[in-house]
Amino acid sequence: MRQVRPVIVRINADACFSDIGKILGWQWKEMPAKTRDLYDQLARRDKLRYKNELIAWQRAHPELAKAQQQQAAAAAAQNAGQNGGGGSK
């Protein structure tokens, strides 16, 4: 679908970002199941590739990886505090 987005944008030059997303979503739903399965398979492969590259990077740069994990944990804790404040709004 990554290849399709520029074509959709070109054809629908006046469409806003959300409209482009709706068009792409509609095309995804209308796509034959076999074609969607191919894209899903590509996505799974790419996710595995990313995970393996991340592990390799973390092993090569343990000090940076630790700092990155600490930052992620701090951000998650901050988000939990903002989103889980007792259940009342």
Contact 45/53 with Cβ under 8 angstroms?
no
Q: Confidence band (pLDDT; 50, 70, 90) for 2?
A: confident
pLDDT band at 3 (very low <50, low <70, confident <90, very high): confident
3-state SS, residue 80: helix
Residue with tokens 């505090």: 81
pTM confidence score: 0.62
Residue 64 three-state SS: helix
- For 15-70, how does the pLDDT look when each residue is reduced to its tens digit (9 = 90+)? 999 999 999 999 999 999 999 999 999 999 999 999 999 999 999 999 999 999 99
Under the banding of pLDDT at 50, 70 and 90, the label for residue 1 is low
E strand or H helix at 3, and its extent?
none
Token pair of 41, please? 């398979």
